[in-house]
Amino acid sequence: MQRLSKLIADAGSASRRKAADLVRAGRVRVDGEVVTDPGIQVDPAASRVELDRRLLRAQPKRYLLLNKPRGPLSAVADQRGRTTVIDLLGDTQERLYPAGRLDADTEGILLITNDGDLTYRLTHPRYGVEKVYRAEVRGRPSRAAIRRLSQGVLLDDGPSGPARVRLLRAGRDTSLVELTVHSGRKRMIRRMLKAVGHPVRALQRTRIGPLTLGDLYPGQWRSLTDDEVAQLRRCVNQNAAPPGGTAPRNQTHR
C-alpha cells in the first residue's frame, strides 16, 4: 500500500507537494471514483489511478543536472510562451520537472527529474539540504552586515534563518559573497543582501547538497551518475528532522 500523493509523484506526474494539490482539486480518480484525500492508501498493483482521466503508469526515473542560464523560467511550461528550463533539454520521453526553482535572472545548478519523492525531500525545509549561492553585490559588506546575514535577516515574510557567509572578494564598488542556506523562499538571497544594504548584481547557485556544477557551461546539462543519485538520497536521509522537529541549523561563520 502507498499514499496516493506519493504514488502520483512516483509516476512522474508531479512533485509530491503538487500531487497533493492535484488530488485536493478533484483531478484524480481511483478505480473510477474521484478522490480528494491525498493521504489515502492505494495498492499500486491492484488499483487503477487516473489523473485528468489519464491512466498513471510508473516511469523510469531520470535525474538531470542543468547549469541554468539567465532567462529561462524554472517551470515545465509557460502560458505566455516564455522559455523554460525544460525547453533547454530538447525532446525527452519522460515528463520531467525542476526540483525547486531558480529565478529567471539567477543562474546555476538545477536538478531536473521525475522523482517526486526526492524532489519533495530536496525542497522541504525539514530535510535541511544545503544550497550554496555566490552573489556579486554592490559595495563592500562590513563585518556587521556579514554578522546580520549569519544570524538571519528579518524579511517581509518572516526571518530568513541563519546563513553561513564568506566574503570571497571585497572591492569598493562590487564584492563577491558566498552564502550557504537550508531554505529557499522566493528571491530570498536577493532580499537578504538588499536588507543589509548590498543589492545583488548577479547571482549563481553553485551547489545543492553534494552536487556541484563541475565543468558545465550555462545551458548545458548531463545525467547524474548512479553514485550521485545515491549521494543525494543519503543527504536527505541523514539531514531529515524528526516529525514535528526542525531542520538542522546552519553554523555561522564570519
Domain residue limits, the chain: 2-55, 59-254
What distance in Å separates the CA atoms of residue 237 and residue 19, rounded to the nearest whole number? 21
95 or 196: whose pLDDT is higher?
A: 196
Contact yes or no for 27/131 (Cβ under 8 A): no
Q: Give the tens place of pLDDT for each residue, 94-117.
A: 789 999 889 999 999 999 998 888
Q: Do domains 2-55 and 59-254 have the same CATH topology?
A: no
What distance in Å separates the CA atoms of residue 176 and residue 46, rounded to the nearest whole number? 56
Q: Which of 74, 103, 179, 104 is nearest to 137 (CA)?
A: 179
- Nine cell digits for residue 228: 550521485
pTM of the model: 0.78
What pLDDT is recorded for position 244? 53
Q: Give the tens place of pLDDT for each residue, 58-84.
A: 778 899 999 999 999 999 889 999 999
Catalytic residues: 103
Please tell me the CATH superfamily of domain 59-254, with its number: Pseudouridine synthase (3.30.2350.10)
Reported as a pLDDT band with limits 50, 70 and 90, residue 243 is low
- Nine cell digits for residue 136: 556579486
Identify the bridge partners of residue 192 per DSSP, sorted by sequence position.
Answer: none
What distance in Å separates the CA atoms of residue 133 and residue 250, rounded to the nearest whole number? 14
Residue 116 phi/psi, 5° resolution? -65, -35
For residue 182, pLDDT beyond 80: yes
Reported as a pLDDT band with limits 50, 70 and 90, residue 252 is very low
Q: Give the tens place of pLDDT for each residue, 13-53.
A: 777 778 899 999 999 999 999 999 999 999 877 889 999 98
Please tell me the CATH superfamily of domain 2-55, with its number: RNA-binding S4 domain (3.10.290.10)
